[in-house]
Amino acid sequence: MTRLTRRLSTTLSLEDQLAILAGEISEIVPIDTLNYRHQIGGTDFVFSSGMGGPHRCEYRLNLEGEFYGTLSLKRRQKFTEQELEAIEMMLGAAICPIRNACRFHAIEHAALTDSLTGTPNKRAMDTALQQACRLSDRHGDQYSLILCDLDHFKAINDNYGHIVGDHLLKLAACELEKSVRSSDSVYRFGGEEFAILLPHTGELEARNVADRVREYIGNIAINCGDINVSVTASCGVATHLTGEASDQWLARADEALYRAKDHGRNCTRVFASIS
């Protein structure tokens, strides 16, 4: 128990703590699988170590009236009473570090999430773009970036109020999520501007995605008494170039967006790469 608590206290990473816990439990009670699931900050956190096993024991982790996830263990043989007692003792020693890790994860998640729309924010986007640049350079994969701006959004705020404007932003974020693949990532870049990161996607496909995004946003309608408030969107697209820094990539997408707005809005422009 002393070794377990000492090892768990060395990190606030929930994933690392669960990996430590799985290893320490397996030293005392042979297991094939450790699964953990919890909802933190409105998103699902899932951890799994190992595979298989028809026999399972499951625990809801609670401390001082607060819930900190569900943990289950599986293996091919049935657990004995003595083994279950040993597992429960280890979980009793682990619950405080797990609580601290859950709280830290929630704080980290909040720092990377836009409070209005629930989408990742610019800070999260900057990190994702830097990682995409590294992966693109290392493996030669194509990554594309779309910047999407809601047209004449200030006029909506001025004419109908910020409550309607905020509701429109939330709906726009939902439509963006619907219009892209699960492997794509949507970010609120700032104000009425969103960004979409598309892995394994070239210019032509990215342009098609941008046009689909504009179509989805164009279908939004908010009833304000005798009028339905709707909005269009302009999109700028840029595909990452080999050796290009994330800020340069972002600047090219922003230039493409400027061209879209300069050409009358409600359209898509691509910053074409040189082949």
Which tokens is 27 given? 């030293």
Name which of 59, 22, 64 is nearest 38 in CA terms.
59
Of the two residues 108 and 148, the one the predictor is more confident about is: 148
| pLDDT tens readout for residues 235-245 | 999 999 999 99
The domains of the chain, with CATH numbers, are: 2-111 (3.30.450.40), 122-271 (3.30.70.270)
| Stretch among 12-21, 49-58, 127-136, 161-170 having the lowest mean pLDDT | 49-58
Mean pLDDT of the 27-42 span? 93
- Residues of the chain with pLDDT > 70, as a percent, come to 99
Name which of 28, 140, 8, 137 is nearest 75 in CA terms.
28
Residues labelled as active-site residues: 192
| pLDDT tens readout for residues 199-221 | 999 999 999 999 999 999 999 99
Beta bridge partners of 187: 195
Q: Is the pLDDT of residue 275 over 50?
A: no
Which tokens is 5 given? 């608590």
CB 135 within 8 A of CB 129: no
Distance CA 239, CA 230 (A): 30
| pLDDT tens readout for residues 49-95 | 988 789 999 999 999 999 999 999 999 999 999 999 999 999 999 99
